[in-house]
Amino acid sequence: MEFNLPEDLRDVQATVRDFMLNVVEPRAHEIEETNRVPGELMRGAAELGLFGLSIPEEYGGVGLGSLGRCAVYEAMGQGHMGFGGVISAHASIGTSGLVKLGTEEQKRRFLPRMASGECIAGFAITEPSSGSDAANIRTRAEKRGDCYVLNGTKHYISNAPIAGLLTVIAITDPSRGTRGMSAFLVEPQITPGVKIGKIDEKMGQKGALSAEVIFEDAEIPVENLLGPEHLGYREALGILTNGRVGIAARSTGAMQRLLDLSIAHAKTREQFGQPIAEFQAVQFMLAEMEVAIQTSRLLWQKVAWMVDQGQDVRRMASVAKYHATEMLSQVADKAVQVAGGMGYMKDSPVERYYRDQRLLRIYEGTSEIQKLIIARSLLA
């Protein structure tokens, strides 16, 4: 049993980590102040192939499997989390549905531009009345001739303000209940009847823009139906499963960065005539952080491997996301405690991580939803 990543993936991971720490992090203050990711950083990400992580090479992507993608996501977690959020929302849930369910014509029309970063993607399922209760979505898609007419509202949609393509989940047959859901490829910037609302003002993850998306008699060509009509709740939510593994990997990377910052601070900060690293209370916190990192890393690596083997990972993806995001919350709190007053200051990366990490226990399925999925799977 091999627990180390293959050498080629370790090299890719090191390259992305270097980009995050030495190119993105120096611009972190700018991102925080403007709530925008500078164009130079987006172009740098494109040059590294980050937008095409899950896109096959024949369409201009990198074509990494789940293990490779998650290795990259862990490296991205060690830099600005808002920037990482833009990339991951695009490369995971924004892309995976099209790669898995798209027709050849759809793939050739969109994937090359998505791989280059020219067309940013997102996934639109959440609504004002249906967050965790995704089966209660109300956006309707009525077939009229050679198009579907969409009406409804999505909110908190990652990348919506900059997206060239959204995978939108809507109800095509209310009588079928959760089996009446369908997925559509929507180009929000050029489709009449699609409006992007006010950009959300979030606690953290600055630069990772989200917004409401409003559909008012928006006509979507029938050729933009993704997968079969009445795709169903199970298949639609399946798009989120791989995203959950990626979040576990990003969380692991964030924990690693927080531990590295904490160790560096503990070795140089002196109190009572010695570095605080000499105090057992600090040592215990560092040890607990390391345990959280190692267990989370083993979990995401196992689940990513299972994905690549074609195994059903619905339960284990929830296990990985729940564990890693909950552990990250504890690690972030410990990192602030180790840093003391400096960890509470706005110019501290620890303070930023403390705010940024909170979202990971909410989006793509709250911690409570993950526990429900796990429990129901065990009792089935």
Total domains, the chain = 3
pLDDT confidence of residue 236: 73
With 0.85 as the threshold, say if the pTM is over it: yes
- Asked whether residue 207 falls in the same domain as residue 171, the answer is yes
SS3 223: helix
Mark which of 193, 211, 228 sits at the end of a domain.
228
For residue 151, give the DSSP letter: E
List residues with catalytic annotation: 364
Give the separation between CA 229 and CA 237, rounded to whole angstroms. 15
Six-digit token string for 96: 């995976």
Write the secondary structure of 16-60 as one string of H (helix), E (strand) and C (coil). HHHHHHHHHHHHHHHHHHHCCCCHHHHHHHHHCCHHHCCCCHHHC
Note the pLDDT of residue 129. 83
Q: Is residue 2 part of a domain?
A: no
In the prediction, which pLDDT does 54 show? Answer: 94
Looking at the structure, tell me whether residues 72 and 203 fall in a common domain.
no
CATH code, domain with 167: 2.40.110.10
pLDDT for the residue 63: 94
pLDDT at 132 (0 to 100): 66
CATH classification of the domain holding 304: 1.20.140.10
- β-bridge partners, 183: 169, 226
pLDDT on residue 133: 72
Reported as a single tens digit per residue, the pLDDT across 242-278 is: 789 999 999 999 999 999 999 999 999 999 999 999 9
The answer to whether 303 and 316 have CB atoms below 8 angstroms apart is yes
138 lies in the same domain as 251:
no
Per the CB < 8 A criterion, the answer to whether 265 and 339 are in contact is yes
Range of the domain at 237: 233-379
> Residue ranges of the chain with pLDDT lower than 50?
none
Tokens representing residue 202 in the block: 């979030």
Q: Is residue 208 part of a domain?
A: yes
